[in-house]
DNA sequence: GCGTCCAATACCGTTTCGATCTCGCGCCCC
DNA sequence: GGGGCGCGAGATCGAAACGGTATTGGACGC
C-alpha cells in the first residue's frame, strides 16, 4: 500500500469514475485502474462495485474511505508540524563567522 | 513522501543509527540514508542532527515522529476496517444459479 | 598516524510506474 | 435487433524510482 494508492482511491471514491478521478489526479486512466486493483488485491477484498456507469463504493470501501482521508490529512499535518517546529526552534545556527547569540 | 520513507524515519529515530535501522528494516544502509535525506529535502527542513555516534532527533524530527507513528497506525487500521466491513457485509453473493434470499 | 565506526556518495541491475494503444462489456438510440 | 458510445480493464513500452554493492569522507580512540 502506498500513499499514491490511497490518493487514487479517494479520488475514485469521490468521483465515482476512474476516468474522472484520473483527470483530477492529472494522470491517465489505466494507472488509476491498476492501482485500485492492486490496493484491493493487497487488502484481500474489493472496495468498489464495477457498474456500467462507473464505480460504486462497497461497504469495505466506505470503511476504508474514512481512514484514507484521515491518513492523507495526517500526512499533511506531519509535514506542517516538522516545518513549524523547525521555525520555532531552529536546530543550530550554522553561524559560520559572526556568532550572534540570540 | 512515501510510507516507506515514514517507516524508515521511525526506525532511524528509534534506533538512533542508520545502520541499525536498516538492519531492523531488512534493507541495506544506503537506501535508508538516502530516503531520510529525500524526506528532509521534501519537508524543507532537517529532521536529524548527524553526530559521529549516529543520528539525533531535532525538534522538527520529534514533531514529525509523533505524526509518523500515527500515520503508520492509521494505515494498519484502514486495512483492518476494510477487511472487517467486507466480512460483516459481503458485497453481493454471486449466487450464479440457486437464488437464496438472505 | 592508523584503525574503527558512522553516514554519505557513485554506480549498476532490477523493479515499479505511468502513457499510449487496444479490447470487452453493457446501455442507449434508432 | 444492430450500431454507436460510455465505461473499466488489459497489453506493451519507455522512464523514473528503488535497493544493493563497493567506495569515500569525517570524527574519535589508541
Q: How far is the CA of A45 from the C1' of C21 (A)?
A: 30
Q: What is the pLDDT along chain B (102 residues), one digit of tens a residue?
A: 999 999 999 999 999 999 999 999 999 999 999 999 999 999 999 999 999 999 999 999 999 999 999 999 999 999 999 999 998 877 654 434 433 443
pLDDT of residue B95: 38
Say whether the CB atom of A30 is under 7 angstroms from strand D.
yes
Alpha-carbon gap: A1 to the closest alpha carbon of chain B (Å): 8
Q: Of the candidates B63, B46, B64, which has an alpha carbon nearest to the alpha carbon of residue B55?
A: B46
Alpha-carbon distance B100 to B81, whole Å? 27
For B39, the grid coordinates are 524526506
Q: What does the block give as the cell for A85? A: 517546529
CA distance A63 to A93: 47
Per-residue pLDDT of chain A (102 residues; tens, 9 = 90+): 999 999 999 999 999 999 999 999 999 999 999 999 999 999 999 999 999 999 999 999 999 999 999 999 999 999 999 999 998 877 654 434 443 443
pLDDT of residue A97: 40
Q: Considering only CB atoms, which chain B residues are within 8 Å of A43?
A: 79, 82-83
The integer distance in angstroms from the CA atom of B59 to the C1' atom of D7 is 50
Distance from CA of A61 to the nearest CA of B (A): 6
The set of cell numbers assigned to A51 is 457498474
3 state SS of A48: strand
Instruction: Identify the pLDDT of residue B29.
Output: 98
The fold for domain B3-88 equals Arc Repressor Mutant, subunit A (1.10.10)
The alpha helices in A1-102, defined as continuous H runs, are 3-15, 18-25, 29-43, 59-88
What pLDDT, on a 0 to 100 scale, did the predictor assign at position B91? 64
Per-residue model confidence (pLDDT) at position B92: 55
* Predicted local confidence at residue A91, as pLDDT: 63
pLDDT at A54: 95
The Cα B15–Cα B22 span in angstroms is 10
| Domain layout of chain B by residue ranges | 3-88
Q: What pLDDT score does B31 carry? A: 98
Amino acid at each position: 500500500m502506498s500513499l499514491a494508492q490511497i490518493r487514487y482511491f479517494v479520488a475514485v471514491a469521490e468521483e465515482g469514475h476512474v476516468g474522472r478521478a484520473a483527470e483530477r489526479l492529472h494522470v491517465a486512466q489505466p494507472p488509476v485502474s491498476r492501482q485500485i486493483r492492486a490496493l484491493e488485491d493487497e487488502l484481500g477484498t474489493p472496495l468498489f462495485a464495477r457498474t456500467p456507469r462507473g464505480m460504486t463504493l462497497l461497504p469495505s470501501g466506505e470503511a476504508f474511505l474514512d481512514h484514507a482521508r484521515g491518513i492523507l490529512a495526517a500526512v499533511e499535518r506531519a509535514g506542517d508540524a516538522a516545518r513549524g517546529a523547525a521555525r520555532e526552534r531552529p536546530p543550530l545556527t550554522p553561524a559560520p563567522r559572526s556568532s550572534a547569540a540570540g
